[in-house]
A = this chain, B = another copy of it.
Amino acid sequence: MDKSSLEELLQLVKEEKIDIDDAVTKLIDLPYKDMGFANIDSHRELRVGYPEVIYCGGKTVEQVKKIFEFMASKESNILGTRATEEMYEEVRKICPEAEYNTLGRTITVKKKEMHSTDSYIAIVAAGTSDLPVVEEAYETAKIFGNKVEKIVDVGVAGIHRLFNRLDLIRGAKVVIVVAGMEGALASVIGGLVDKPIIGVPTSVGYGTNFGGVSALLCMLNSCSSGLSVVNIDNGFGAAYQASMINKL
């Protein structure tokens, strides 16, 4: 509630067009639904034009099902991330239009078409093993209404593969780079492309990869500028911010 709506509300109070009790309620009654185990913010789409998002990790199948059930009664699009196939099976029972991306572990429910952007987000990935993160980013960017181009398996071990796709990458408004192991791809693209780049380190690798830490550190210490980083394997977060930038 910003300053101007506060003024309006107070004006209503002054003009006695609204009871003090009601005004107090308006001031404190926020638009969420208390489900006992979760507070669902169902007005979010209205405010910011985004679909509802459910992080399914750490939730029980039952909890996920109930949240989808409540949301599906609204007309919002819905995105569930880190969802298991078992969750999807339950959600589908109450929400038949739900779709599951097996690699990306997302459940998407499209109640209405999103207008897609003209400019596009490029999602560039180092290797085939990074595909789960690519898919999570892809599904997120799509349901948020973005045009997306995927460029995969262009890691620095065979850098000529990357160069052949440079035009497509350079044409994007914002670039997501998904890379595990040493994560050098983000630095290399950062040195070649003058667009904002969001790096997603992945947990692909073994040994001193330490579950993605090597790629994360590589990206954080990049000598290329214009690069910022999200959590390991966080395809959703990268696409969320990329969508914000793409729509500027």
Binding site for B on A (CB under 8 A): 2-3, 6-7, 10-11, 13-14, 16, 20, 23-24, 27-30, 32, 36-39, 41, 47-48, 53, 55, 57-59, 63, 82, 126-131, 152-161, 163-164, 166-167, 170, 173, 180-184, 187-188, 190-192, 194-198, 201, 203-234, 236-238, 240-241, 244-245, 248
Contacts of A48 in B (CB 8 A): 194
Are the CB atoms of B181 and A159 closer together than 8 Å? Answer: no
Contact of A10 among B24, B53, B214 (CB under 8 A): B24
Decide: A220 and B213 in contact? CB cutoff 8 A. Answer: no
A225, B240: Cβ atoms closer than 8 Å: yes
Query: A160 to chain B: which residues have CB within 8 Å?
Result: 30, 32
Docked CA distance A166–B4 (Å): 13
Q: Closest B-chain residue to A14, C-beta based?
A: B13
In the complex, are the beta carbons of B153 and A221 less than 8 A apart?
A: no
